[in-house]
């Protein structure tokens, strides 16, 4: 007895011929299963390919967006850096002018420990100090419609009172302004510049003037203070020794002492301050365009 089978007729439209295909009954389920599996495979492949194309397009879009964001971030960084520099410059200038005329009192620093007691009538004393400063230094003050202001450094230089020489050849290790105190680790106001070179290096006067004080002060250690007139003084702290005495007249470049680590210091360096009527201002304004100090000829 012959097995059951299915017969399929295939006709050609071109030649008009007909072909007959006989499929055994038991083979038909197998062919159907293969067709289903093949369809699923082709569908899965097409879906996977479509997802791959979508992911590639999405990845390229994300890369372009990332590059755009990175460029924007760099531009913002540049803008923020420029803005911070201008803000710091304006704050430094405003702080110096305000403190120089008694509008604001500078922060106390560890170097001011034990330097003196507060006056009983601070407001009165401050007013007297402001009047005395203006009376003594009227030529160094310019009046304008915007109020009173300090003359530019170039005009102060012409008066011969700006301490513009480098006191010692070295590397700046501490800047003027707020910083972390190296001993306590807390925020503190640094009233000058720290310049480090070698222990015993000569420290030179940055401008002409008279030696106001030679001795020791709390925090500063061995210190020399020079009065340049018009309320301008310079302070040289942490010295290891002195080369001047109080009352001496000093010319720019004269050796006033030697670098050391006396006082509140973490190592050999010079603590250098510029003060206008005993108020610290940023020495860097007068030093950044000047060459480092050199020994004057004829010493």
Mean model confidence pLDDT for the chain = 75
Interacting residues of 125 by C-beta distance below 8 A, sequence separation 6+ = 119
Q: Is residue 107's pLDDT more than 70?
A: no
Q: Are 132 and 279 members of one domain?
A: yes
Give the separation between CA 53 and CA 63, rounded to whole angstroms.
15
Q: Is 173 exposed, middle or buried (0-12, 13-18, 19+ CB in 10 A)?
A: middle
Place of tokens 């301490």: 163
Do 157 and 278 lie in one domain? The reply is yes
Contacts of 160 (CB under 8 A, 6+ apart): 207, 208
Same domain, residue pair 130 and 256? yes
pLDDT > 90 in the chain, percent = 22
pLDDT(191) > 90: no
Residue ranges with strand state E in the chain: 5-11, 18-24, 141-144, 147-150, 171-174, 177-180, 187-190, 193-196, 202-204, 209-217, 221-229, 232-242, 249-250, 255-259, 270-276, 279-281
* Whether 140 and 59 share a structural domain: no
Q: Is residue 239 predicted with pLDDT exceeding 90?
A: yes
Q: Residue 121: is its pLDDT beyond 80? A: no
Q: How far is Cα 270 from Cα 193, in angstroms, rounded to an integer? A: 8
Phi first, then psi, for residue 107 (nearest 5°) are: -65, 145
Which residues have CB under 8 Å from 27's CB, separation 6+?
Answer: none
User: 187 and 131, same structural domain?
Assistant: yes
Cα separation of 213 and 273, whole Å?
A: 14
CATH of the domain at 164: 2.70.70.10
Domain membership flag for residue 145: yes
CB 282 within 8 A of CB 176: yes
Per-residue pLDDT tens digits for 36-86: 888 898 888 888 888 888 888 888 888 888 888 888 888 888 888 878 777
pLDDT at 129: 59
237 pLDDT above the threshold of 90: yes
The segment with the largest mean pLDDT, out of 33-42, 252-261, 279-288, is 252-261
Look at residue 84 in the predicted model and tell me its pLDDT: 75
**Residue 152: closest CA among 93, 101, 87:** 93
CB 270 within 8 A of CB 170: yes
Q: Which of 62, 83, 104 is the last residue before a domain boundary? A: 83
Instruction: Check residue 133 and give its pLDDT.
Output: 55
- Say whether both 175 and 65 belong to one domain: no
| Model pLDDT, residue 123 | 59
Domain extent, residue 262, equals 124-287
The string of DSSP letters for 236-286 reads: EEEEEEES--TT-EE-TT-EEEEEB--SS-SSSBEEEEEEETTEEE-THHH
Distances (CA, A) of 90 to 44, 237, 251: 67, 28, 32
Question: Are 137 and 263 in a shared domain?
Answer: yes
Instruction: Give the pair of three-digit tokens for residue 24.
Output: 């055994």
* Beta strands 270-276 and 232-242, pairing class: antiparallel
Confidence check: pLDDT of 160 > 60: no
- pLDDT for residue 294: 43
Same domain, 130 and 41: no
Q: State the number of CA atoms in the 13 A half-sphere of 197 facing the CB.
A: 15
- Evaluate whether residue 206 is within a structural domain: yes
């Amino acid at each position: 007895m012959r097995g059951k089978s299915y017969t399929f007729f295939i006709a050609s439209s071109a030649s008009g011929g007909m072909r007959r295909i006989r499929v055994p009954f038991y083979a038909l389920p197998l062919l159907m299963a293969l067709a289903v599996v093949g369809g699923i495979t082709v569908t899965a492949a097409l879906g996977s390919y479509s997802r791959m194309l979508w992911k590639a397009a999405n990845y390229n879009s994300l890369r372009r967006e990332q590059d755009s964001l990175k460029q924007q971030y760099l531009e913002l960084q540049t803008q923020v850096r420029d803005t911070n520099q201008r803000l710091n410059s304006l704050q430094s200038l405003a702080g110096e002018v305000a403190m120089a005329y008694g509008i604001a009192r500078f922060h106390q620093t560890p170097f001011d420990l034990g330097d003196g007691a507060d006056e009983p009538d601070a407001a009165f004393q401050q007013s007297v100090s402001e009047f005395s400063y203006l009376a003594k230094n009227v030529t160094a003050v310019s009046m304008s419609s915007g109020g009173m202001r300090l003359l530019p450094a170039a005009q102060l230089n012409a008066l011969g009172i700006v301490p513009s020489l480098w006191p010692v050849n070295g590397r700046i290790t501490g800047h003027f302004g707020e910083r972390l105190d190296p001993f306590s680790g807390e925020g503190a106001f640094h009233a000058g510049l720290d310049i480090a070179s070698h222990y015993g290096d000569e420290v030179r006067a940055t401008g002409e003037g008279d030696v106001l004080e030679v001795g020791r002060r709390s925090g500063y250690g061995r210190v020399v203070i020079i009065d340049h007139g018009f309320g301008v003084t310079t302070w040289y702290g942490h010295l290891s020794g002195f080369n001047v005495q109080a009352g001496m007249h000093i010319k720019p470049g004269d050796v006033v002492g030697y670098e050391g680590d006396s006082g509140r210091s973490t190592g050999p360096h010079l603590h250098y301050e510029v003060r206008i009527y005993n108020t610290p201002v940023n020495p860097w304004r007068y030093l950044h365009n000047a060459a480092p100090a050199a020994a004057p000829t004829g010493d």
